[in-house]
Amino acid sequence: HLWSTPTGQAWASTSWPKAFAKVVELAEMKDVVTYDLRKHACSQILRRLSARDAIRFTGHKTVEMLIRVYAYAMEE
């Protein structure tokens, strides 16, 4: 999954927002939300891997869901 700890476990939904906010603050970035980063990462993964392989990294349940959300990445 894209949102996992260094040990590979999924982040608890209450623990990562504070860490992400701190990174954004330290980087002096504005208007950046976690979905922006996830969308970019998923798009790059889908461009480089088959959709079936990409779902392992993105956490999507089905290839159909992944393609529906990121179809534009496959067209570029």
pLDDT at 76 over 80: no
Tokens of 60: 């999507």
Structure confidence by residue, pLDDT tens digits, 9-57: 776 666 667 777 888 889 898 888 877 888 888 888 888 888 888 888 8
Rg, the chain, Cα only: 14
Residue 49: count other Cβ atoms within 10 Å of its Cβ.
Answer: 14
d(CA 70, CA 66): 6
CA of 31: how far to CAs of 12, 35, 50, 57, in Å? 23, 11, 31, 25
